[in-house]
Amino acid sequence: MSKIAFVFPGQGSQTVGMGKDLAEKYPEVMSYFKKADESLKVPLSQLIFEGPKEDLTLTINTQPALLTTSLAVLSFFQNSGVKPDFVAGHSLGEYTALVAAGVMSFEEGVYAVRKRGEFMENAVPNGEGSMAAVLGLDRVKLAAVTEEVTNGGNPVALANLNCPGQIVISGSKKGIEDAGAKAKEAGAKRVLPLEVSGPFHSPLMKPASGQLREVLDGIDMKDAEVPVVANVSAEPVTSAAEIKDKLIEQLYSPVLWEDSVQKMIELGVDTFIEIGPGKVLSGLIKKIDKTVKIFSVSDEESSLAVIDALKEEKL
């Protein structure tokens, strides 16, 4: 039996103007952007639709902006009646998945990620943390590199295990520099510094975990209506209590994206639909398994095209 997974993007997929055409044409889509403005008491929709890009890319803005846009696109796409068997999201996208699965309301989700972005930005002084993508080195060899550098006094860790041959490391600025050099010595093809404001998904984020728990404790989280594949375990979860614990852990633990996709495939998923701006996750999934069907939904045209494709396959 064919199974479908909805997947939601994380930071890096944002663009100025995302969701604007759909929102201007459909009031039910625009309502998400209006609710975000009301919940956060900031003109987030204006920033999403008009920029400037520099402000949109600030973590504190990017996180609620992506969650809002992805769920607004989902609201239009779901009118087709397509239902997922599993949901998952990359880092921030996990919160989008949780709203889609009924674990928290949209208003609670957009507030939670706004606070999450704030805590992440404040956890490490600006300029002291960094991240880099390492291409062409397997996780065992790279883990050995990060362990050696960390033991030398400059903390660095695996942060995003995205797909075969693409792993992001995160940590102190010196740790990233040293690990990058050692990774090349160990056989990495390239090491690409990332434009981020902090060492996300590394142990350096632990100071933010207590603050995030306080925010999540204030949310009436419900058991998931659809299994959510958690970033930190690559296992499906439905229990609200377990989901909350895993969200705290996610802050300072690696995103096991490759493992999560493999787990969903093991559980029968053969169709992945990326919902929200960009096609980052679609590209990663293609590198993980070329045999599965992958669709991207970001606007009216792509939504209708995917709905037609699914109808033809009678999914």
Q: Which of 170, 172, 201, 260 is catalytic?
A: 201
Q: Domain range spanning residue 190?
A: 129-196
Question: Nearest Cα to 223, choosing from 65, 94, 101, 62?
Answer: 101
The pLDDT, as a whole number, for residue 79 is 86
**Side chain identity at residue 168, one-letter code:** V
Q: Is 201 a catalytic residue?
A: yes
Q: Which of 196, 230, 246 is the last residue of a domain?
A: 196
CATH code, domain carrying 167: 3.30.70.250
Specify whether 140 is located in the same domain as 230. Answer: no
- How many independent structural domains does the chain possess? 2
The pLDDT, as a whole number, for residue 80 is 85
**96 neighbors 109 (Cβ within 8 angstroms):** yes
Specify whether 163 is located in the same domain as 283. Answer: no
Specify whether 99 is located in the same domain as 220. Answer: yes
Q: Which of 137, 171, 196 is the last residue of a domain?
A: 196
Specify whether 104 is located in the same domain as 213. Answer: yes
Specify whether 53 is located in the same domain as 155. Answer: no
Specify whether 24 is located in the same domain as 156. Answer: no
Question: Nearest Cα to 264, choosing from 284, 235, 244?
Answer: 235
Q: What is the DSSP string of 42-55?
A: S-HHHHHHH--HHH
Tens-digit pLDDT string for the chain (315 aa): 689 999 999 999 999 999 999 999 999 999 999 999 999 999 999 999 999 999 999 999 999 999 999 999 999 999 888 999 999 999 999 999 999 999 999 999 999 999 999 999 999 988 899 999 999 999 999 999 999 999 999 999 999 999 999 999 999 999 999 999 999 999 999 999 998 888 999 999 999 999 999 999 999 999 999 999 999 999 999 999 999 999 999 999 999 999 999 999 999 999 999 999 999 999 999 999 999 999 999 999 999 999 999 888 755
CATH code, domain carrying 49: 3.40.366.10
The strands making up 190-193's β-sheet, listed across from edge to edge, are: 156-163, 166-172, 129-135, 190-193
Q: Is 91 a catalytic residue?
A: yes
The pLDDT, as a whole number, for residue 197 is 80
Q: Which of 177, 196, 215 is the last residue of a domain?
A: 196
Specify whether 165 is located in the same domain as 185. Answer: yes
Q: Which of 70, 91, 130, 253 is catalytic?
A: 91
Specify whether 16 is located in the same domain as 110. Answer: yes
Specify whether 117 is located in the same domain as 217. Answer: yes
Length of the chain: 315
